[in-house]
A = this chain, B = another copy of it.
């Protein structure tokens, strides 16, 4: 069986048709389809079309508002709070990011938070939107399931609360950081379990604090935060900035969207946009970032290290590859998607046939 590959247009169109068939207005379905396909294109495959089936489950269960009134609830010169009215997170955060970019253009920096939002895909998607405007994007979110106890604790009250940063460059690939505040994202644990592999020490611990290596027993333990208590602190701060500050869910209020399809998640996110042209000449800034990138890449390497990567370079390379050859989808995923297509009475996903 040849590998199944899909182009961005195919991914986007399939997702949009599916969402439209479920009741999303055409424009909104196109927007979400484009953003989800973007996630696959940049290699964030845990946050792209793989999410369509769980999103569909929630939509069909009535857990998402298909016609939300996404509006600005609070506003000052350099900030806003957006009420997502329980719409798709992608729609909420796209609007939030566009507003932040617009405000940053005059104020120099802007911060827009969301409440009553939902899962919006990979963190870097929104941080990267600032790049087209030669601006810096910073993104923070409350994860949609708790996998992390406070340091020394047993109750999972925190999520992988991710941070993303996107910084424009001159000729180099933009610097794009997209990281969970845990050593491994939960999706990586699930992937190890699917492949029948053990996890390396340092990803998870059990309830006695001992290393947990078997990913099929992930329910018996917790993810480890990066840098131990530091990552716990970082996850908490990100959660307060993206959740509590916005009146969104945090701590025990977080709904596990893997297990609950109907309760409103009240997801909180935040996007900050900085306009470097407020600090000085924009081209000089971008050239200076390039110089720094080249300096880091050119550093002497440890034995066995073939290349020093900058944050964002691997996803930049993946996007180029995906544009040329399409995105490979696992057969099990293709089957799930085509089952959904049949249920929704839309055309199945077509392979590029490469």
Check: A84 CB closer than 8 A to any chain B CB: no
User: In the bound complex, do residue B227 and residue A110 qualify as a contact, i.e. CB atoms below 8 Å apart?
Assistant: no
Return the CB mask of A173-198 against B: 1 if under 8 Å, else 0.
Answer: 00101010001000000000000000
* A76 neighbours in B (Cβ, 8 Å): 106-108, 275, 278
Check: A247 CB closer than 8 A to any chain B CB: yes
Return the CB mask of A10-47 against B: 1 if under 8 Å, else 0.
Answer: 00000000000000000000000000000000000000
* A307 neighbours in B (Cβ, 8 Å): 152
User: In the bound complex, do residue B244 and residue A296 qualify as a contact, i.e. CB atoms below 8 Å apart?
Assistant: no
Check: A353 CB closer than 8 A to any chain B CB: no
> Complex: how many Å from CA A109 to CA B111?
7
> Complex: how many Å from CA A323 to CA B110?
39
Check: A333 CB closer than 8 A to any chain B CB: no
Stretch at the interface among A90-98, A255-263, A284-292, A344-352: A284-292
User: In the bound complex, do residue A285 and residue B231 qualify as a contact, i.e. CB atoms below 8 Å apart?
Assistant: no
Q: A78-B108, A279-B74 are contacts. A152–B241 as well, Cβ < 8 Å?
A: no
* A107 neighbours in B (Cβ, 8 Å): 76-79, 107
> Complex: how many Å from CA A23 to CA B208?
57
> Complex: how many Å from CA A232 to CA B177?
10
Residue from the set A113, A275, A279, A305 with the largest chain B CB neighbour count within 10 Å: A279
Check: A123 CB closer than 8 A to any chain B CB: no
Q: A78-B107, A79-B108 are contacts. A154–B301 as well, Cβ < 8 Å?
A: yes
Residue from the set A151, A250, A285, A307 with the largest chain B CB neighbour count within 10 Å: A151
* A302 neighbours in B (Cβ, 8 Å): 152-154, 207-209
Q: Range of interface residues on chain A?
A: 35 or more
Q: What residue of chain B has the Cβ atom nearest to residue A238's Cβ? A: B165
Contact of A177 among B136, B233, B278, B295 (CB under 8 A): B233
User: In the bound complex, do residue A245 and residue B136 qualify as a contact, i.e. CB atoms below 8 Å apart?
Assistant: yes
Check: A230 CB closer than 8 A to any chain B CB: yes
Specify the main secondary structure of chain A where it touches its partner.
mixed
Check: A101 CB closer than 8 A to any chain B CB: no
> Complex: how many Å from CA A282 to CA B292?
41
Q: What residue of chain B has the Cβ atom nearest to residue A81's Cβ? A: B279
Check: A308 CB closer than 8 A to any chain B CB: yes
> Complex: how many Å from CA A308 to CA B154?
10
User: In the bound complex, do residue B299 and residue A237 qualify as a contact, i.e. CB atoms below 8 Å apart?
Assistant: no
Contact of A299 among B157, B179, B295, B308 (CB under 8 A): B157
Check: A251 CB closer than 8 A to any chain B CB: yes
Contact of A227 among B158, B179, B241, B252 (CB under 8 A): B179
Check: A68 CB closer than 8 A to any chain B CB: no
A180 CB to nearest chain B CB (Å) = 8
* A299 neighbours in B (Cβ, 8 Å): 149-150, 153-155, 157
In the complex, given contacts A76-B106, A109-B109, A227-B227, what are 15 additional A-B residue pairs having Cβ atoms less than 8 angstroms apart? Answer: A77-B108, A78-B108, A150-B299, A151-B308, A152-B301, A153-B299, A153-B305, A154-B300, A157-B296, A179-B234, A226-B231, A236-B296, A244-B288, A251-B292, A251-B296
